[in-house]
Structure 1
Amino acid sequence: MTTRAEQRRRTEERILRAARELFGEYGFDRTTVRMVATRASSDAGLVMRYFGSKEQLFAQAAAIPADGAIEGSPAEIAEQLTAALSAKLAEEPAAALAALRAMFSHPEAADEVRKAMTAQQRQVADQLSGDDALARSGVIGALTLGLVVSRHLVKLDGLDAAPEELMAIAGPLIEELVTG
C-alpha cells in the first residue's frame, strides 16, 4: 500500500519532471504553471500548493546537480571530467538545460548556473598544478558548457554525432588542459 508521503513524493517528482521539460523547451517566461500542471497530469492549484510560486518551482526544477567530487591524479581527474561530459552529451541534462535556457532572461537562473559552474571550476582548479590552474579549469567548464548547449539547445550540425565520436575529439583537449 502506498503511503500519503510516497504519493506526495511521486506527485512532486512528476511536477518537477514536467517543469524541467517545459522550462527547457520554452524558457521561464513562456512556461506557465497551468502548462506544467497539464503535462504532469495535475492541476495548477496543486502545483502552487507544493511549490508556492512559479519562481520557486523553477528554482527546484532548474537546480543543477553537481557532478560529484573531482579528485585524484591528473589522469583520474581527466577521466572523471570526460565521463561527466560524455554523460551530458548522451542524455539531455533536463535541469541544466532548463537553467541554461532561462538564464538569458531570468537573473536567478543566471546566478544558479554561475554558482554551479564556479563551484565545479574551483574544485577542479584546486586539484590541478600550475599558476594557470584556474584558467585551465575555466576553459574545461566553457568547453563542457559550449558542447552541451550546442548539442542539446542550439543543435549545431555535427554535434548530433554519437557521444563517443565527440569525446574522441573533446577528451584529448580535456586531458591536455588537466595536465597543463
Structure 2
Amino acid sequence: MKADYKNWVPKYMVNGLIAGTIVFAVLFVIFGVIGLGLSGVLRWIIFAALLIALIGIGMFLKWSVMAYKAFSYDGTRQLSKQIIEGTANYIDIPNGGKCLDVGCGSGALTIACAKRNLKAEIVGLDRWGKEYSNFSNMLCCKNAKAEGVSNVKFVKGDACKLDFSDETFDAVTSNYVYHNITGADKQELL
C-alpha cells in the first residue's frame, strides 16, 4: 500500500478547466471563426469576446496543470514533498513529547514529523471541510499505516479554537492552512 497525500490543486479543478477550454474552443470555432448565423460588427464582437475568454481560460488551465504537477508527490518537481520534508527537518521533539500539526489535510507533515521523532506523539488536527472533501481523517490514518507510522493521532478540530490546554505541545507545525483563515486578525490569532 502506498500513501496518497493528494494534491493542493484539486484534480476536479484541472478537469473542469480542460472541459471549459474545450467548450470555449468549440464556441470560438463555430461562432467566431465560421460565424454561424452572425455577420458584420456582431460577428467581430463575438469573435473578440470568445478569443479573449479562450485565451484567459487556456492560461488558467496551463497554470493549473503546472501547479498540479509541481505539487504532486509523484510528479517530477515534487514541490510538496520538498516543503513537507524540509519543514519536518526543523522539528525536534524530546522523547515522550508532543507536537501538534494544525491543518494536517492528508497527514503529510504530521507523518513526516512522526518519522523524524519516533519517540514523540504527533497529533494532526483538521476540520476536513467540504472545500477539501478529498482530505479526511480516514485518509490520514491510511497514509500513516502505509508509511508504517504509529506515533500519530488525527483529530477533527478548528485552527481558530484549539481545544487543548496551554503548554500541551512541545512544538506546533502548520503548512498550507494560514491563508484559509479569514475574518480574525491573523497576527492576533497566531
**TM-score range relative to shorter protein:** under 0.3
Point out the structure with max Rg over C-alpha: 2
Q: TM-score, normalised by structure 1?
A: 0.28
- Please state which structure has a larger fraction of its residues in helix: 1
TM-score by length of 2: 0.27
The structure where strand makes up a greater share of residues is 2
